[in-house]
Amino acid sequence: MQLHPPARIGLHPFAQIGLHRLWQALLVALVVGTLTFFLLRLLPGDMAFRIAASRYGYDLVSAAAAESVRAELGLDRPMFLALLSWWRDLMQLNLGNSLVSGEPVLHELAHELGNTLQLAGVALLLSAVIGVPLGMLAGSRPGGVIDRVTLALAVLLRALPPFVLGLVLIVVFAVQVSVLPAAGHGAPSHIVLPALTLALPLAALSCRVARDAMVSVGQSAYFAFALTKGLSQRQALLRHGLRNVGVPVVAYLGVQMVVLVEGVVIVETLFAWPGIGHALVHAIFGRDVPMIQGTALAMGLLFVLFNALIDVACHTIDPRRKATS
Residues 6+ apart with CB under 8 A from 137: 146
Q: Which of 96, 68, 79 is nearest to 34 (CA)?
A: 79
Minimum mean pLDDT range among 87-96, 108-117, 306-315: 306-315
Q: What gap in Å lies between CA 35 and CA 40, rounded to an integer?
A: 8
274 pLDDT more than 80:
yes
**Higher pLDDT residue, 207 or 224?**
207
Residues 6+ apart with CB under 8 A from 93: 106
CB atoms closer than 10 angstroms to residue 306? 19
Among 3.40.50.2300, 1.10.3720.10, 1.10.275.10, 3.40.50.150, name the CATH number for the domain at 112-324.
1.10.3720.10
The residue extents of the domains of the chain are 20-91, 112-324
CA distance to 131, 214, 293, per residue, from 318 (Å):
20, 15, 38
Of the pLDDT bands very low, low, confident and very high (cuts 50, 70, 90), residue 325 is: very low
**pLDDT > 90 fraction of the chain, expressed in percent and rounded:** 4
Q: Which of 242, 275, 270, 3 is nearest to 118 (CA)?
A: 275
Q: What is the dihedral of CA 112, 114, 119, 120, to 10 degrees?
A: 110
CA distance to 125, 134, 169, 206, per residue, from 203 (Å):
10, 9, 16, 5
Of the pLDDT bands very low, low, confident and very high (cuts 50, 70, 90), residue 14 is: low
Model confidence over 56-103: pLDDT tens digits?
666 667 777 777 777 776 666 777 777 787 788 777 777 777 777 778
Is-contact 48 69, C-beta < 8 A?
Answer: yes
pLDDT, position 109: 84
Model confidence over 18-45: pLDDT tens digits?
777 778 778 877 888 788 777 777 766 6
- Mean pLDDT across 296-301: 81
Rg for the chain, CA atoms, rounded: 24
**Higher pLDDT residue, 312 or 14?**
312
Is-contact 131 206, C-beta < 8 A?
Answer: yes
pLDDT, position 11: 66
For the chain, the first-to-last Cα distance in angstroms comes to 27
